[in-house]
Structure 1
């Protein structure tokens, strides 16, 4: 039996049919540059199916998380979760940027950091899991990967969209050291740079990613607030 790939380890799922995994991670630019191209299938058909799988799974997740939520509340939350930017964030956390197959031209143009490519690959991968093992398997992965993001969206809403300011207010109210941000990396061409920032605050350490230093800091702060929210909601042992 072959060992699981890095992306399978990140998902916590082992494909029974590896061809589905490979198709999900194959961008059309790679197919166009392959010889012969018929050997590979691009992931666009799986991405089409994955859009429906993600929408259904997030709908179920929200119904379970907010049993008293109105249709308007649930629709707003789903729109905050199921969009290109948020799907790309999850894809980055899973390391999809390094796993997806791209053509040389797309790689040179910063394709591994493009939100559209990352979001599409994530949708395709969840569709592949759905075809491989059914909806429950896809939902289990989505629930595990989306719950932290949902907590961050709740925290961001509570902070009025400014997680950095809210986190600083919490630190001051608790007489803790102010949040400290450290730039870890700055990658990509000038027109598509990606910043990675580490945040240390309130006994929590997170990392944020964004197209600017400010955006990466906000991302890290929202992740920290989300973790605080989940920690405070956790039942006492």
Structure 2
């Protein structure tokens, strides 16, 4: 990894590392070796939740605890982190094993979102809470500023479906991956949602398993109705 490349990444983060080794570890996938970013990812996940919670608490004084939790959940999920990773061009910086490289690991949402959290963890270890609070706020402020409260506060289709079934005294739906098509960096997942007690089967698709499950749940909700 060239110093120039890391300089670019630090510029996009808005933070310059004193210990560049921490940043190098943050962009090292477990397939590269034992000295990887998994522990930093664990730390970064907690920091992300804390800082975003603080941002929401200050900005949305009219929301209650449940609404704030739901909003935070929608903001710190894989989709949001994947978008941030792409904005940082993080994929081009990742260090990973040969096998992961061949499968286009640098473009996988799960790997990129984990790496973002690892970078957050590294930033905290290097500069403390003030530094990571600044970085996360810088990256998330445009996202939170564009929040449509009604959209973000609305329960996702999987949660809504499960709660509706629970209200009817039924078991949760069962999801299975039916098919995965396309190359690793642009896959389409097809998922089947089954509700045996109501003889309901629906299918959905999306760029990730989670997205496909939500799509299938949305269709199942329409069938379940009131």
- Aligned position for 1:51: 45
- Aligned position for 2:164: none
- Unpaired runs of 5+ residues, structure 1, are 32-36, 161-188, 195-209, 216-237
Distance in 2 (CA, whole Å) between partners of 1:45 and 1:72 is 29
- Aligned position for 2:22: 20
* Cα displacement (A) at 1:58: 0.6
Give the 4+ runs in structure 1 shifted more than 6 A: none
Is the CA contact (8 Å cut-off) linking 2:103 and 2:184 kept in structure 1?
A: no
SS at match of 2:148: helix
* Cα displacement (A) at 1:104: 1.7
SS at match of 1:61: helix
Is the CA contact (8 Å cut-off) linking 1:192 and 1:211 kept in structure 2?
A: no
Residue 7 (1) aligns with residue 9 (2): yes
- Aligned position for 1:98: 92
- Unpaired runs of 5+ residues, structure 2, are 155-181, 188-205, 212-226
SS at match of 1:134: helix
1:1-237 equivalent positions in 2, closer than 5 A: 5-31=7-33, 41-154=35-148, 157=151, 190-193=183-186, 211=207
Given the two structures, how large is their TM-score scaled by the length of structure 2? 0.65
Per-residue displacement from partner, 1:60-80 (whole Å, max 9, x unpaired)?
A: 010111122210111111010
**Residue correspondences, number:** 164
Per-residue displacement from partner, 1:31-73 (whole Å, max 9, x unpaired)?
A: 1xxxxx6xxx100000011111101011001011112221011
* Cα displacement (A) at 1:211: 4.3
* Cα displacement (A) at 1:121: 0.5
Is the CA contact (8 Å cut-off) linking 1:50 and 1:126 kept in structure 2?
A: yes
Classify 1:155/1:148 alpha carbon distance in 2 versus 1 (closer, same or farther; 3 Å): farther
Distance in 2 (CA, whole Å) between partners of 1:15 and 1:97 is 19
Distance in 2 (CA, whole Å) between partners of 1:86 and 1:68 is 24
Classify 1:88/1:28 alpha carbon distance in 2 versus 1 (closer, same or farther; 3 Å): same
Is the CA contact (8 Å cut-off) linking 1:21 and 1:128 kept in structure 2?
A: yes
